[in-house]
């Protein structure tokens, strides 16, 4: 659906008005949009405020041309199935880039959104591979999965080995299993704390919180103040649903409390005082600075709340940065992102995320699939994804590109963050089982159980999973 | 349990000639049964046996390791697995709560609908609808009504009636979520239960009531002395079917709660273990346990049934 | 039907009038409780997004729109899912009736050793938890290369449709008078001819009943669909709607309007089927339950 300039102007005016109102913290407006406009203006009480109508591209920039088009054209007419980003800006980027690829090469690509929940995505892949299914050609792999799926993936060394040398070496090493390059690095990720600069200023804070105690105090004060005008306002939003995202969140809490990384040096260390303290703290947020509903939040729920102007702080991945600064975002230019808080004497932690692209061994069109991967992971594509969606490139030279530096300002102070990997090295193909044990335990704490007792059970369950 | 018995009670054919004829007929019968038997063996008996076998192994998908026989290890683990214990307790509690509510409410509704009134058949038809549509879909409808911000229930309770101060997160809040899902099940199944009981009610001869009225029995006495005792067989059958359904509940919990640990039933725990974790051995052990628990319930009911009949 | 002539007839006193009003109130409550979720789903499905995601909730759309229906029906994946559901449900029903009626003929009209054993096995299958065979069925489906194929569902759905079909049809065929069959045998008909020319035509009402029940059961199934299919072109509606709310591209929020529209679309055929065949369905259910 195309917006006419008039609509655009009207939406802009409504947004500007709203930002003004938000700024004055008197934003309980329920302004009906003009008839015929399917998008409501950003009223603080409507979640649809940040929703785009389906098919309405949030991406204005043009994706780069396919530089390997000459090679890829050889496979024109072949059909690929690509397990893509399911939601949000990533899904949008996938759509425009795939469109470009089809245009330039004549290869037909069907986009299949992977399940939003990484735990389910993992299970889906496992079933597809177990069945030796040809129904997937190119797939997104979480940074922790190459080991688990290596035996089902094509060795990309021959065709993409040269291109891989441009990428960050540690990620390439992560994706190399028994000498085979089973996946190409696509983007890397770590957890960040987003804060509303305007609200910090309004309540007299000079900089974002450094310790968890500070975060709690600031969130409480801002929440109390904002609720006068916006009863649904929240101090701090994060990912509390029982899924892989909770593993990532909780790992950050625990590591920044000096509680280790679930499994350290091959030993299950999850049940320790630091971890207990971290979880007890998180439990305290539910129903105070975070709503009880946070225990059903995924990334997009948190971003939706924060971007709608209904939260002071948010834990999320870098992609939320570009989305929050999108043209019609109510919080455009009103927020910053940086390291997550930590306990005094500890360091900020960020769980390492990031996704790779791989080709299934059972794909009937491996060559065409490899060309798609080549395009999607190319320097031009990574630059495009960084500037349009704030996905962190895996190619150092692209990271240093001035435009990219401008788009990802939080990379500058990333050196203060301890990057914590999830324990996939120790779990191998049983990662999912260990992670489910962990996030379900954390979830139980958030629902009110005692951290110490629960962590004991988690330890027991992980032990059993790895036996 | 009256099975269709003895279709050919006494054969009229002369005994001598019937021997080979009977044999031929027997073979024919098995021939007619063959397709069904093949399917049953294929999709039920063999898989069930395989599940029993797998529950004694450490089979996993996607690890490349061959399955090993591990004896009763999985069952020993089950005995210590607090998540499994929670799932069993939750499932049994859910079964007791929903089946009892459905039985009492269903009986009430059946008595109401059994009376003569205008539009009775329309009401009965409407009652079939919740049962007929997919649980996955009705769960979505309810999830939307339960929505913590835009849901109609919160609006009713907070804005219209003023019963509550703040919105409730029906699905997320651990204190409420069990009841939220129980209500969905009760909504879906009470009308169905009522229709089953209605069929039973209509089998009760009306002259019994007339005789009772002549003897001066009150409505309550008629209910407790005539309706309830005569309805017992229907109630027991309905109970058995509903209990078995409730014990294997999957769809509604899966849609509402996903992997949330405090809201796992035996079936969702087994499915998660089998599918998300691909731990076929352990998952099979959970399945077998569920199977055995269902068997225990059936035996209890059958025992009750038998003493009733005796 | 005559069970409660207590309430009807006789003269009406004012007290009875009030009782009558109370009674209708009760009936209204039952119906209201039963249909409210559908009404609400429908109301939500014709609201534009800005009226859907707003507080306080609007009980009737200010500007009713069919946009959600348009989006859902234009959605290729949803069309495919509807088609898949039809294919699977129809095939399962057909296969169940075909082989189930054969078995019912043998069980209802023949006497042979092992007959009651077979009947009990069939009965046992109806109380079978599907989850108990999930892992093993998954292995088997892989073995036959049926993963992510509709036949995988058609085959496995028989586990719950076939026993029911056999059980109800057996009772039905048993009730047919012996004389009809014997007359045919006297005329020299083979058992097969008896089956096709006499038993089948006579059991059409029973087949209709069990067919509808099998169709509804197959249409509503979720667990196997979730476990044995994967890509959008192979999903049935239950799976598609579940996936809908987690992947469809209302970019940032679950597209509740569309989800409700899709739910209504999937529900309407069932509601029609139920209303048209309510007597048959009730007869089938009570036969299954009372005899079971």
pLDDT tens figures, A36-59:
323 333 333 333 334 433 334 556
Residue ending a domain, among C34, C50, C67, is: C67
**CA neighbor of C250 nearest in space, from C75, C85, C80:** C75
Among B62, B82, B172, whose Cβ lies nearest the Cβ of A457? B82
Contact (CB<8Å) C289/B284: no
Q: Does residue C117 belong to any structural domain of this protein? A: yes
Look at A447 and B63 and tell me if their CB atoms are within 8 Å: no
Of B208 and C248, the structure prediction assigns the larger pLDDT to B208
Tell me the pLDDT band of C110, cut-offs 50, 70 and 90.
Answer: confident
- Mean of pLDDT values over B223-249: 87
Residues counted in chain C: 292
Q: Which residues of B touch A464 (CB under 8 A)?
A: 77
Nearest to B133 by CA among C221, A340, A93, A256: C221
Q: How many domains does chain C have?
A: 2
pLDDT of residue A40: 32
Q: A-chain residues within 8 Å CB-CB of B278?
A: 123, 126, 130, 432
- Using a CB-CB cut-off of 8 Å, the residues of chain B touching C130 are 248, 250
Q: Average the pLDDT over A413-428 and give the result.
A: 85
Contact C190, C197 (CB under 8 A): no
Could you tell me which chains touch chain A, where touching means 3 or more CB pairs under 8 A? B, C
User: Which of B83, B98, B279 lies closest to B179, judged by CA?
Assistant: B98
* DSSP, res A78: -
Report pLDDT digits (tens) over C11-24. Answer: 556 778 888 888 88
Q: Is the pLDDT at C246 greater than 60, yes or no?
A: no
Residue A365 has pLDDT above 60, yes or no: yes
Nearest to B61 among A126, A232, A441 (CB): A126
Residue C12, pLDDT score:
58
CB atoms B141 and C270 under 8 Å:
no
Q: Is B246 on the interface with C (CB under 8 A)?
A: no
Residues from B contacting A (CB-CB < 8 Å) are 60-64, 77, 80-83, 148-150, 166, 169, 171-174, 258-262, 272, 275-279
| CB within 8 Å: A133 and C230 | yes
Backbone angles phi, psi at A209, to 5 degrees: -65, 145
b/e A360-369 (16+ beta carbons within 10 angstroms → b): bbbbebbbbb
Residues C132, C221, single domain; the answer is yes
Of C122, C132, C226, the CB nearest to B290: C132
Q: What tokens were used for A356?
A: 């790779």
C26 and C116, same domain (yes or no)? no
Whether residue C187 is found in the same domain as residue C130: yes
Supply the mean pLDDT for chain B: 85
Determine whether the interchain pair B258/A241 forms a contact, defined as Cβ–Cβ distance below 8 Å.
yes
Distance, CA of A326 to CA of B35 (rounded, Å): 62
pLDDT above 90 for C247: no
- Contact assessment for residue A222 and residue A335, using Cβ atoms and an 8 Å cutoff: no
Residue C123: how many other CB atoms lie within 10 Å: 17
The answer to whether the peptide bond before residue C56 is cis (omega within 30 degrees of 0) is: yes
What range does the domain containing C29 cover? 14-67
Kindly report the CATH number assigned to the domain that includes residue C156. 1.10.3720.10
Chain A residues touching residue B166 (CB < 8 angstroms): 231
pLDDT score of B161: 86
Per-residue pLDDT tens over the stretch C211-228: 988 999 999 999 999 989
Nearest-CB residue to B62 (from A232, A429, A441): A429
Which residues on C lie below 8 Å from B283 (Cβ)?
Answer: 134-135
- Asked if residues A314 and A209 have their Cβ atoms less than 8 Å apart, the reply is no
User: Which residue do the tokens 């049994």 mark?
Assistant: B92
Average pLDDT over residues B179-194: 92
Contact C34 B130 (CB under 8 A): yes
Q: What is the pLDDT of residue B155?
A: 87
Paired residues of A110 in beta bridges:
A81
% chain C with pLDDT above 90 = 28
Statement to judge: residues C22 and C157 lie in one domain: no
Which residue from B82, B150, B259 is facing A436, i.e. has the nearest CB? Answer: B259
CA dist., res. A372 & res. A107, Å (int):
9
C-beta separation of C157 from B276 below 8 A: no
Pair C91, C236 in one domain: yes
CA C89 to centroid of chain Cα atoms: 9
Average pLDDT estimate for C55-66:
83
Statement to judge: residues C63 and C167 lie in one domain: no
Q: Do A330 and A309 touch, CB atoms closer than 8 A? A: yes
Interface residue of C44, C145, C252, C261 to substitute, partner A, most A CBs within 10 Å: C252
Q: What is the pLDDT of residue B261?
A: 87
Domains annotated for chain B, with CATH where assigned, are 82-309 (1.10.3720.10)
d(CA A217, CA A111): 45
Contact between A187 and A394 under an 8 Å Cβ cutoff? The reply is yes
Q: Of A57-66, A98-107, A279-288, B213-222, which range is least confident?
A: A57-66
Which residues of chain C does B135 touch, with a Cβ-Cβ cutoff of 8 Å? Answer: 220, 222
Q: How close, in Å, is residue B115 to chain C by CA atoms?
A: 5
With CA atoms as reference, the chain C residue closest to B205 would be: C3
Say whether A127 and C250 touch across the interface (CB within 8 A).
no
Q: Which two tokens stand for residue C134?
A: 């999930």
Of all residues in chain A, the percent with pLDDT exceeding 90 is: 61
ipTM of this complex prediction, to 2 decimal places: 0.85
Alpha carbons C160 and A458: distance in angstroms, whole number? 37
* Whole-number Å distance between alpha carbons of A276 and A253: 10
Higher-confidence residue of B230 and A29: namely B230
**Chain B residue numbers touching C23 (CB-CB < 8 A):** 112, 115, 117
Calculate what percentage of chain B has a pLDDT beyond 70.
92
The closest of C270, C274, C277, C248 to C78, measured between CA atoms, is C248
Chain centroid offset of residue A319 CA: 6
pLDDT value of residue B118: 81
For residues C96-118, give the mean pLDDT. 91
Stretch B19-34: mean pLDDT: 83
Distance from the Cα of A267 to chain B's closest Cα (Å) equals: 21
Query: Which backbone phi and psi does A343 adopt, to 5 degrees?
Result: -75, 150
- The upper half-sphere exposure of residue A21, i.e. CA atoms within 13 Å in the direction of its Cβ, equals 23
The Cβ of residue B35 has, within 10 Å, a number of other Cβ atoms equal to: 16
CATH topology of domain A69-190+354-414: D-Maltodextrin-Binding Protein; domain 2 (3.40.190)
Measured distance CA(B280)–CA(B270) in Å, rounded:
9
The number of beta carbons lying within 10 Å of the beta carbon of residue B163 is: 8
Residue A87 or C245, more confident: A87
A247 contacts in chain B (CB < 8 Å): none
Residue of A370, A349, A368 lying closest to A358 (CA atoms): A370
- For residue B63, the model assigns a pLDDT of 67
B240 pLDDT exceeds 70? Answer: yes
CA dist list (Å): A240 to A120, A236, A244, B109: 16, 12, 10, 41
Euclidean distance between CA atoms A420 and A263, whole angstroms: 11
Tokens standing for A185?
């690095």
Q: How much is the mean pLDDT over chain A?
A: 85
Higher-pLDDT residue of A6 and C56 is: C56
CB-nearest partner of C289 from B8, B238, B247: B238
Cα maximum dimension of chain B:
87
Average pLDDT over residues A323-327: 86
Beta bridge partners of A62: none
Give the domain ranges of chain A.
Answer: 69-190+354-414
If asked whether residues C182 and C157 sit together in one domain, one would say: yes
What's the helix, strand, coil split of chain B in %, to 5? 75, 0, 25
Look at residue C183 and tell me whether its pLDDT is greater than 70: yes
B180 in Cβ contact with B170 (< 8 Å):
yes
Do C156 and C175 lie in one domain? The reply is yes
Q: Which of C6, C38, C67 is the last residue of a domain?
A: C67
Do B173 and A433 make contact, defined as CB atoms within 8 angstroms? no
How far CA B148 is from CA of A287, B167, C73, C91, C127, in Å, comes to: 13, 6, 28, 41, 37
The answer to whether the Cβ–Cβ distance between B187 and C37 falls below 8 Å is yes
Residue-wise pLDDT for B275-297, tens only, equals: 888 888 999 999 999 989 988 88
Q: Check if the beta carbon of residue A430 is closer than 8 Å to that of residue B63.
A: yes
What was the pLDDT predicted at C253?
58
Chain B residues 32-91 within an 8 A CB cutoff of chain C: 32-33, 35-37, 39-40, 42-48, 50-51, 54
Q: Which residues of C touch B244 (CB under 8 A)?
A: 127
Q: Distance from C231 to chain B by nearest Cα, in Å?
A: 16
Residue A438 has pLDDT above 80, yes or no: yes
Is B127 touching C (CB cutoff 8 A)? Answer: yes
**Distances, alpha carbon B161 to alpha carbons B153, B157, B158, C130, in Å:** 10, 5, 6, 43
Task: Report the distance separating Cα B115 and Cα A203, nearest Å.
Answer: 67
SS3 A407: helix
Q: Do C30 and B298 touch (CB under 8 A)?
A: no
| pLDDT of C55 strictly over 50 | yes
Which helix (H) or strand (E) element contains residue A275?
helix A273-285
Cα distance between residue C169 and residue B129, in whole Å = 24
Chain B: partners with 3+ C-beta pairs within 8 Å? A, C
Residues A277, A342 contacting (CB under 8 angstroms): no
pLDDT range class, residue A13, cuts 50, 70, 90? very low
What is the DSSP-derived secondary structure letter of residue B166? S
CB contact set of A157 (below 8 Å; sequence gap of 6+): A164, A179, A180, A181
Higher pLDDT, A338 or C256: A338
Question: In the predicted model, what is the mean pLDDT of residues A131-149?
Answer: 92
Give yes or no: residues C36 and C148 share one domain. no
Any A CB within 8 A of C143 CB:
no
pLDDT reading at B38 higher than 50: yes
pLDDT band at B8 (very low <50, low <70, confident <90, very high): very low
pLDDT per position as a tens digit, A341-350: 999 999 999 9
With respect to residue C5, please indicate whether it lies within any of the assigned structural domains.
no
Chain A hits for B272, Cβ within 8 Å: 436
Chain A residues closer than 8 Å to C148 by CB: 128, 131, 133, 135
Residue A244 near residue B276 (C-beta atoms within 8 A): no
Residues of A in contact with C232 (CB under 8 A): 112
Higher pLDDT, A427 or C221: C221
- For residue B62, give both structure tokens: 């996607």
Mutate: best of C74, C230, C243, partner A, most A CBs <10 A: C230
Q: State how far the Cα of A299 lies from the Cα of A320, in Å rounded to an integer.
A: 9
Helix, strand, coil in percent for chain C, rounding step 5:
75, 0, 25
């Amino acid at each position: 659906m195309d917006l006419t300039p008039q609509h655009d102007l009207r939406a802009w005016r409504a947004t500007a008005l709203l930002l003004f109102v938000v700024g004055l913290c008197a934003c309980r407006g329920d302004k009906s949009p003009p008839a015929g406009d399917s998008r409501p203006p950003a009223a603080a009480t409507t979640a649809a405020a940040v929703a785009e109508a389906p098919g309405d591209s949030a991406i204005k920039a043009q994706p780069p041309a396919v530089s390997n088009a000459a090679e890829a054209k050889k496979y024109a007419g072949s059909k690929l199935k690509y397990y893509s980003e399911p939601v949000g800006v990533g899904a949008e980027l996938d759509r425009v880039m795939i469109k470009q690829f089809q245009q330039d090469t004549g290869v037909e690509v069907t986009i299949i959104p992977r399940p939003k929940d990484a735990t389910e995505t993992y299970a889906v892949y496992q079933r597809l591979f177990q069945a030796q299914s040809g129904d997937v050609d190119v797939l997104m792999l979480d940074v922790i999965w190459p080991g688990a799926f290596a035996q089902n993936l094509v060795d990309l060394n021959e065709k993409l080995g040269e291109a891989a040398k441009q990428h960050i070496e540690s990620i390439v090493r992560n994706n190399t299993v028994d000498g085979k390059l089973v996946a190409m690095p696509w983007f890397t990720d770590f957890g960040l704390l987003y804060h509303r600069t305007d609200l910090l200023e309004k309540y007299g804070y000079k900089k974002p919180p450094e310790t968890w105690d500070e975060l709690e105090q600031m969130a409480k004060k801002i929440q109390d103040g904002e609720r006068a005008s916006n009863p649904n306002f929240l101090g701090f939003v994060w990912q509390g649903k029982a899924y892989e995202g909770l593993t990532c969140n909780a790992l950050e809490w625990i590591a920044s409390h000096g509680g280790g990384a679930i499994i350290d040096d091959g030993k299950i260390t999850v049940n320790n005082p630091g971890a207990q303290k971290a979880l007890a703290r998180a439990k305290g947020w539910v129903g105070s600075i975070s709503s009880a509903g946070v225990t059903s939040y995924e990334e997009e729920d948190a971003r939706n709340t924060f971007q709608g102007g209904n939260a002071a702080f948010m834990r999320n991945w870098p992609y939320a940065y570009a989305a929050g600064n999108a043209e019609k975002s109510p919080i455009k230019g009103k927020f910053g992102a940086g390291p997550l808080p930590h306990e005094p004497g500890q360091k900020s932690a960020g769980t390492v995320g990031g996704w790779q692209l791989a080709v299934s061994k059972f794909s009937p069109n491996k060559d065409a699939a490899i060309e798609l991967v080549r395009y999607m992971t190319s320097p031009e594509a990574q630059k495009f994804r960084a500037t349009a969606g704030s996905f962190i490139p895996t190619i150092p030279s692209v990271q240093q590109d001035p435009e990219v530096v401008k788009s990802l300002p939080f990379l500058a102070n990333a050196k203060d963050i301890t990057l914590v990997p999830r324990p996939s090295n120790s779990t191998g193909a049983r990662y999912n089982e260990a992670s489910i044990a962990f996030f379900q335990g954390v979830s139980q704490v958030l629902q009110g159980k005692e951290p110490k007792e629960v962590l004991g059970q988690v330890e027991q369950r992980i032990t059993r999973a790895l036996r | 349990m009256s099975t269709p018995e003895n279709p050919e009670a006494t054969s009229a054919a002369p005994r001598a000639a019937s021997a080979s004829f009977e044999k031929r007929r027997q073979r024919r019968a098995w021939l007619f049964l063959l397709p069904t038997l093949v399917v049953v063996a294929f999709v039920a008996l063999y898989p069930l046996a395989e599940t029993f076998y797998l529950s004694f192994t450490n089979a996993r998908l996607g690890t490349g390791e061959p399955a090993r026989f591990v004896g009763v290890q999985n069952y020993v683990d089950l005995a210590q697995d607090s998540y499994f214990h929670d799932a069993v307790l939750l499932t049994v509690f859910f079964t007791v709560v929903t089946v009892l509510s459905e039985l009492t409410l269903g009986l009430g509704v059946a008595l109401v609908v059994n009376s003569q009134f205008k539009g009775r058949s329309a009401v009965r038809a409407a009652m079939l609808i919740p049962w007929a549509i997919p649980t996955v879909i009705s769960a979505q409808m309810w999830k939307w009504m339960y929505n913590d911000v835009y849901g109609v229930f919160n609006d009713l309770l907070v804005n219209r009636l003023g019963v509550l101060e703040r919105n409730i997160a029906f699905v997320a809040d651990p204190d409420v979520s069990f009841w939220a899902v129980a209500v969905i099940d009760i909504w879906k199944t009470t009308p169905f239960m009522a229709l089953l009981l209605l069929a039973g009610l209509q089998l009760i001869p009306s002259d019994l009531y007339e005789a009772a009225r002549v003897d001066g029995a009150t409505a309550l006495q008629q209910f407790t002395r005539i309706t309830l005792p005569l309805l017992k067989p229907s109630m027991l059958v309905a109970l058995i079917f509903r209990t078995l359904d409730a014990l294997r509940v999957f769809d509604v919990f899966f849609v509402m709660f996903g992997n949330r640990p405090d809201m796992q039933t035996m079936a969702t725990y087994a499915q998660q273990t089998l599918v998300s974790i691909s731990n076929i051995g352990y998952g099979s052990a959970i399945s077998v346990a569920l199977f055995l628990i269902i068997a225990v319930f059936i035996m209890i009911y059958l025992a009750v049934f038998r003493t009733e009949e005796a | 039907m005559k069970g409660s002539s207590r309430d009807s007839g006789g003269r009406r006193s004012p007290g009875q009038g009030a009782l009558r009003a109370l009674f209708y109130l009760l009936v209204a409550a039952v119906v209201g409780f039963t249909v409210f979720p559908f009404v609400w789903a429908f109301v939500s499905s014709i609201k534009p997004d800005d009226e859907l995601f707003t507080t306080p909730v609007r009980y009737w759309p200010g500007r009713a729109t069919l946009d959600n229906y348009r989006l859902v029906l234009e959605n290729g994946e949803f069309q495919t899912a509807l088609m898949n559901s039809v294919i699977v449900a129809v095939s399962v029903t057909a296969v169940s009736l075909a082989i189930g009626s054969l078995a019912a003929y043998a069980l209802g009209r023949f006497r042979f050793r092992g007959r009651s054993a077979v009947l009990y096995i069939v009965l046992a299958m109806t109380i079978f938890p599907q989850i108990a065979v999930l892992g093993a069925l998954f292995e088997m489906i892989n073995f036959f290369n049926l993963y992510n194929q509709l036949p995988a569902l058609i085959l496995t759905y028989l586990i719950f449709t076939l026993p029911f079909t056999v059980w109800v049809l057996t009772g039905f065929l048993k009730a047919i008078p012996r004389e009809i069959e014997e007359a045919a045998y006297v005329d020299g008909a083979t058992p097969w001819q008896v089956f096709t020319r006499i038993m089948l035509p006579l059991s059409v009402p029973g087949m209709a009943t069990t067919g509808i029940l099998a169709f509804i059961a197959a249409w509503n199934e979720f667990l196997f669909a979730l476990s044995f299919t994967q890509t959008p072109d192979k999903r049935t509606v239950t799976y598609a709607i579940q996936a809908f709310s987690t992947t469809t591209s209302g970019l940032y929020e679950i597209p509740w309007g569309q989800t409700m529209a899709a739910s209504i679309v999937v529900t309407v055929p069932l509601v029609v089927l139920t209303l048209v065949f309510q007597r048959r369905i009730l007869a089938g259910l009570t036969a299954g339950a009372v005899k079971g």
